[in-house]
Amino acid sequence: MSGSSIPVRTTLNLDELMLPVFRTKAVELRIWVSGEDRAGHEIDSIFNDVDAPLRVWRLEQRVPEFNIAEIELKPGSGLHQGDVVEVATLVSNTGLADGEANIVLELVESSGARTRIDARVVSVQSGEQVLYQFLWKPGRDGTQWLEMSIINGPHAQSPTVFVDEPRVDGVLGTIGSVNPVLLGVVVLLVAGLLGLLVFGLRHEEVTMPKEAALASSPSPPAKTLASLPPMAADEAPSGPYGDSSSVGSPGENPYQ
């Protein structure tokens, strides 16, 4: 009946009053009072109407809130063009509502060039985590990294890696994969051993006794009677000393 204000207290169960579709939207709670008090005074409508309520409260909107964990690369070093790299991370939803994360994965080079290599939609329920995996095959050499972003959400960056030229198969590839310092040491050792071997062979002298040298020298083949050509039987000796008859004694006259 008197006084400048009337205390009012009430309890509202918003969970029962609100439709489920409103829980994921931006909703406000507006309060205004209409009617008369017990003394018959009408409640003033100034700043107490639908368009100008007495009080306005913004209700918490149930929306998904996504987070991206650290991006891991396996292997994380010693990469070459054409290698297969496994990209993995966890996408979590800490919000009060389920949602879909629009994920975009980009390759960023040291020059600033960007290339989209993957884009997908991942459904994540409230309070859960989803494993994101992607197989990346580097197509260029140089310093590179990956950036993952969720549309209207957070983003994350992978460690920076250096991609080398393509691997070479066969023996050349095996030699190229060896540490250059170790390879140089091995080459120097092999060259030194070959040099010592050649130097030793060129200056080595074999000494032999004179008798052994003479014994080891080949002797000319001896001529045997069997190797001489046979004399024909009808061939008579000629010449003054080739007479087949016996020589007469000194007292005989040879002209008789």
- Which tens digit of pLDDT belongs to each residue from 139-184? 999 999 999 999 999 999 999 999 999 987 655 555 555 567 777 8
232-252, pLDDT tens digit by residue? Answer: 545 555 555 555 555 555 555
Q: Which residue has the tokens 């580097």?
A: 138
Backbone φ/ψ region at 125: left (φ over 0), alpha (ψ -120 to 50), beta: beta
pLDDT on residue 119: 97
Please give the average per-residue pLDDT across 43-62, as a whole number: 89
Q: Is the pLDDT of residue 100 over 80?
A: yes
Q: Which of 76-85, 129-138, 199-208 has the lowest mean pLDDT?
A: 199-208
59-70, pLDDT tens digit by residue? Answer: 888 889 999 999
**Residue ranges of domains in the chain:** 14-58, 66-164
pLDDT on residue 56: 93
pLDDT on residue 214: 53
From residue 10, alpha-carbon distances to 13, 31, 72, 167 in Å are: 10, 12, 54, 76
Q: Which of 62-71, 82-91, 155-164, 218-227 has the lowest mean pLDDT?
A: 218-227
The set of residues, in sequence order, having a beta carbon less than 8 Å from that of 176 and lying 6+ positions away, is: 167, 168
pLDDT on residue 199: 74
pLDDT on residue 75: 94
Query: Percentage of the chain with pLDDT > 90?
Result: 45
HSE-up (13 A, CA, CB side) for residue 42: 4
The answer to whether 146 and 86 are in contact (CB under 8 A) is no
Q: Is the pLDDT of residue 84 over 80?
A: yes
pLDDT band per the 50, 70, 90 thresholds, residue 225:
very low
CA atoms 68, 72, 73, 76: torsion sign: positive
Please give the average per-residue pLDDT across 194-208, as a whole number: 67
Identity of residue 128: E
pLDDT on residue 24: 84
Query: Percentage of the chain with pLDDT > 70?
Result: 73
Q: Which of 33-37, 82-86, 103-107, 251-255 has the lowest mean pLDDT?
A: 251-255
- In this structure, which CATH number among 3.40.980.10, 3.90.226.10, 2.60.40.10, 3.90.920.20 belongs to the domain 66-164? 2.60.40.10
Predicted structure pTM score:
0.55
The answer to whether 93 and 123 are in contact (CB under 8 A) is no
